[in-house]
Amino acid sequence: MPLVIYRSHRTERLARALSRHLSTSTIDPFDTLRVVVGSRGMEQWLRQQFASHNGICAQVRFPFPRQAIDEAIGLSDALYGPEGVVRDQRHLIGLVIKAMRQIRDKAELQQGLSLVNSYIGQSTDASEPVNALELTLATEIAEELDALIRKRPDVASAFVHSEYPEGGWFGALTRELLGDIDPWQVRLQRWQQICCGESCQRGHLHVFGLSALGGDDLTQLGMLAKMPDFVVSLYLLQPSPMSTADEATAAGVFHSLSKELRKGLVNAITISDQEAALALVHEQNHPLLAGFGRLNADSERLLGGIVEALELEVYEHELFDGAGHTDIDDRSQSVLSRLQQGLLQASQLPSLPLMDDDRSVTFHPCFGPTRQVEMLRDLIEHAFASHDGGSPLMPRDVLVMTPDIPTFGPLVEAVFSRHPAIAVQVSDLALQANNPFARALSTLLSIANDRMTLSIAMELMEISVVQAQFGLNDQEVQRAADLLTDAGARWGFDADDRTRAGQPSQHQHTIDFALERLVLGSMCSDEMHVITSGHPTTPHLHAPMARSGLEEGPLIGKIVRVLETIRWHVAEIRKGPRPAQQWLSLCLNALDELTAVGDRQGWLWTQTVDAIEGMLPEIDDVELSFDALQQTIKTQFDRGSGGGRPIAGAVTLCAMEPMRSVPFRVIALLGMDDGAFPRAHIGRAWSPMEGSTRLGEHQRRDVDLHLMIEAVLSARQRLMVLWSGHDPQTGTELPPASPINVLREAVDNAMHADTEHISASDALSFASTLHPWAKDNHTSIGRQYRPEQPLSFEPSLSAAESDNLAKPGLEFGQTPVRETQIDTQSLAKVLQNGARALLRNRVGIRDPWLQTGREDREPFSLGSQHDSLAIELAEQLLVAPATDQQALIQHHFDVANASGYLPHGAAAQSAWQQVTNSAAQFIEARDKVFADCHVTSESAVRSRVQVSRRQGQFGMITSRETRLDQCSMSGSQTKTILWRVIGKKWSDRALGRCWLDLLVFAASRRGDDRIDGLLVSDAKSTIWLKAPTQAKASELLENALEIYDLCHDKPVALFPVASSTLARKLIEVHPWTTGPVESVIDGIIESWATEPDWRRRKLIRDIRTAFVGNSRSSFFDLAEASVRRCFDLEDFDRALPESGPIDPQGWMRMALRVWGEAINAGSKVSSKNLQGFVKASMEAT
């Protein structure tokens, strides 16, 4: 029967030809038609095409090439060995391991095998468990051996007959594995059976779009076409009708060249030399065919050789266009259309002028992977908004391809989920990226291999199927993380688990330590109670967790169940090597007890079980080590899914793989960095196939280059190319992948820009900026790229004028909910750094620099706990009798030690001595303040202030932040002074926080009962903040809340260092006066305009240092990642010019609104004058 070949440069035409065959077929309606495809995405697209053309798609199967050929032949293309047919890859790996161990003692192979044994660390003991390196090597050998027998059976036959002495240990391994079976004779016998019609089905096999088929597959398809009553139809995507197997075409193209060009080529080639002729013609005429057409050319040559050798009857159908393309965009002058026409005619068309609005092919160098995805999202949104009067572009019309799916898959999902979200479907991700059961098992094995840490335990608890098994939800998991962190969990199940890791046997900061504290806290309400257990000489101290009460009991029970289940399975896994089937049972049992299968998750469970069962080698008499198990599972779970997700109503993201030439209106090539594409061939020096390539054996680089032609042919309206064109840290310019330069060359040959000094590819290049909302976000060389819908916005530095709100390009999240209650700590953070609040709470950016991971290391010093412990001890010592103070100090030491706050061993005593010294200093500072005052200690309140927006009221809730003392002197009225001790050195950040606390206390008082001020002391100094009146405090809080809301709406010029420095410098020159805040600010700014130039330049120099830093200090605003994402040095220079209008962007006004009153109210009090200052303050009316 014949071989039918359909060729076209349009996949839709091939699909229509196949659809017509289906509609006119006379086969039995109950028979199944087989259409061979290269991916599941191609299958879904063909189903849609068949249904669209014929009204239905039924009784059609879509197998992959190897499966389809085996079914058609009726035989398995498997390796035959002395033990019978090799069933699958697992069986072959097991046979390779046995054969490797059998030949290791052969003296003639010691030179080669000694290196192998040294690499895998294997001794001569054949019963030793298989380790990870041995299993990995055996897997690679099995892959090479299978490829060798399929692609080069003659070489394998030479190994069997010892006719290939260069084979070395690999040849000996092949002889050991095959025995007396000659692969070449097996292959010949097989083809003889096929040609005689034995063991072969009858029917019709359609092979669709597989331009990158290997030589062995094409040969078998040719053999099938030789069969009686069997038809093979090939539907091939080909850029041009000109074939290397067509001598007349080669000659015609050659003679169509100009006379001068022919003179230059006539001495180099002859017309009969087809391959060389077309290669030179393509090189002279079209760079894409010269650079990317090798795989197509090789396939055509191989197919022609097979047809000639087998004397096949061939029917060819050419489905190419003549001059125009009727099935794509009719704008024949677009860059994309010209590229496709040039490929079709295998020649370089005359160059045309580039139209101003032509965006059919664009190039986008970006600052790193994240900016690539952000730029891609902007481009797609712009394409959605501008459909040029045709049918609107839908997400299903967009395809994104990348050579690095593990990097860009999660980034695309995260960026495209920002409001307004763009639906995206990610294919080819690793199994554990899409499957929660696989992720749970992989995480459990990583715990068993390394160490149990708090962060990895929480990663396991955050997996949805684990939560379902133990009745948890996301809020409970977050609460569990907080409880375990506060209880002191860091790493290790217990002291013995730490010993296993080679660390001292310390119970403190283990999982058991934290669980004991949580359980005790749920039963014991006294947080200062200490329970002692263990041996008297080495007791264990247990302090109840203060924040865990009876209400946390159910959650603590769930935490214990999860962690104890993990502990039991980790202990089982760590027991040592075991046979593969026992490992399989152990993994399935762990999954069964750790996870729960939901109503719609059965297929995910089955997918995981099938992956586990299909990866372990069949070696029943040899055990596997744990590292071999983990390496095998990691390799299996990290493998891509092969494009299994269908083409749905969403943007499709997939890996750059061959045989996926589905047409899309918009195609984007993402991550086309130099070195990332084309991907390099990973060779194996010991492989007999290494170093030489036969026709039909495709290298990874050639396949990737072929994908560039498929991408150009499959795009219908737009082709976008993105890469990291600049280093995100240094800004160094980086080149794109080499195929992108070839594509740019083709664009330059097809089109030319309006100006002489700019190439077409440069005019179509739109570089991104470092952050997504810079002023010049989309610029090109020679002209601005200004779409109708702005892709990003210029950061407005004014927070005072409503007309300076951000332009609509920044993708904000939902309108933020105005909280009814805000604690002053959160309020202070936003007022000091509005950029971080904008990025986190409104825009939804989770910058890696802004993340605070869970701490897995136990503290080696007190750190931030030092101050809280010292203040707590000082407050207890203030009210304790002198005779009980030593016992009190010892008790606090026991509580701190049992709570895990102190370092291990002897360092605990040293750290506690520092705590007691600080407590003594705090008491001394307080005694100086209230030396001649009567302190009503019973009325002392420890409070944490909180702003309440309800009906303009401001209230307080109890906590441990500030101490309020009512003080009175003889003959004077009672005064209320707030006293706070801070352990850190005094700073403007501390000033802002204390000022807001004071405002809330002052605004919440009623009647004549008022707050007089706040004394803030560190170990060396004291600051007095004078409290405003109740009405003034309420006004200032309303002002703070207004700015708080503004910071969630747009970039506001408020900075951690520069803003407070600016306000302080201005107030030093022009003191703060009484009156309405806005009037005072206006007065300062107006008077500043009259200052001498030298003073203005000095101020700008000081503020610029605070903003951009200098060589002497690392504390400046641009060192903060969130500020750097929103502002840059250009913004600073534009906001504070050395000449011109004063304060055009509002920096001064915003700094004074936040910091002016606080700086004016504060004054530093020396230790000598402290008592007199307090007396004067209390005596004043």
- Looking at residue 260, its pLDDT comes to 43
d(CA 452, CA 455): 9
Domain 3-74+197-318 has what CATH class? alpha beta
- Residues 6+ away with beta carbon under 8 Å from 580: 616, 617, 618, 619, 620, 624
- Looking at residue 591, its pLDDT comes to 92
In sequence order, the β-bridge partners of residue 531 are 542
* Across 476-504, average pLDDT: 87
Better-scored residue on pLDDT, 594 or 901: 594
Mean pLDDT comparison of 560-569, 1039-1048, 1159-1168, highest-scoring range: 560-569
pLDDT at 20 over 50: yes
* Across 1119-1139, average pLDDT: 64
* Across 890-914, average pLDDT: 80
Tokens of residue 925, six digits: 């500072």
- Angle at the Cα of 929 from the Cα atoms of 926 and 934, rounded to 5 degrees: 95
The answer to whether the Cα torsion of 269, 271, 272, 278 is positive or negative is positive
Better-scored residue on pLDDT, 234 or 1097: 234
- Looking at residue 296, its pLDDT comes to 77
- Looking at residue 595, its pLDDT comes to 93
Q: What is the DSSP string of 984-1013?
A: SPP-HHHHHHHHHHHHHHHHH--TT----E
Domain 431-638 has what CATH class? mainly alpha
CA distance readout (Å), 403 to 558, 705, 1128? 42, 12, 33
- Looking at residue 958, its pLDDT comes to 34
pLDDT digits 0-9 by tens, 403-416: 988 889 889 988 88
Q: DSSP character for 840?
A: I
- Looking at residue 364, its pLDDT comes to 93
* Across 711-720, average pLDDT: 90
d(CA 691, CA 1073): 85
Q: The whole model's pTM is what? A: 0.72
Better-scored residue on pLDDT, 1175 or 461: 461
- Looking at residue 798, its pLDDT comes to 30
Lowest mean pLDDT across 490-494, 918-922, 928-932, 1043-1047:
928-932
SS3 548: coil
Q: For residue 1008, name the pLDDT band (cuts at 50, 70, 90).
A: low
- Looking at residue 440, its pLDDT comes to 92
- Looking at residue 696, its pLDDT comes to 74
Portion of the chain with pLDDT greater than 90, in percent = 7
Name residue, tokens 């291999």: 449
- Looking at residue 1087, its pLDDT comes to 80
- Looking at residue 672, its pLDDT comes to 92
Which superfamily is assigned to 361-426+664-682+703-784 in CATH?
P-loop containing nucleotide triphosphate hydrolases (3.40.50.300)
The overall average pLDDT reported for the chain is 74
pLDDT at 90 over 60: yes
Better-scored residue on pLDDT, 48 or 251: 48
pLDDT at 886 over 50: yes
Residue type present at position 897? N
> Would you say the CATH fold of 361-426+664-682+703-784 matches that of 3-74+197-318?
yes
Lowest mean pLDDT across 81-90, 883-892, 1063-1072:
81-90
User: Closest Cα to residue 871, out of 984, 975, 1027, 1001?
Assistant: 984
d(CA 725, CA 715): 23
Q: For residue 527, name the pLDDT band (cuts at 50, 70, 90).
A: low
pLDDT at 1132 over 70: no
User: Closest Cα to residue 361, out of 647, 746, 886, 671?
Assistant: 746
pLDDT at 269 over 50: no
d(CA 713, CA 661): 8
Burial of 146 (0-12, 13-18, 19+ CB in 10 A): middle
pLDDT digits 0-9 by tens, 820-830: 677 788 888 88
User: Closest Cα to residue 36, out of 67, 3, 4, 79?
Assistant: 67
d(CA 493, CA 452): 6
**H helices within 473-523, ranges in order?**
474-487, 495-500, 511-523
**Domain segments of the chain as ranges:** 3-74+197-318, 80-182, 361-426+664-682+703-784, 431-638, 836-844+1048-1159, 865-1036+1164-1179
Lowest mean pLDDT across 580-594, 881-895, 1129-1143:
1129-1143
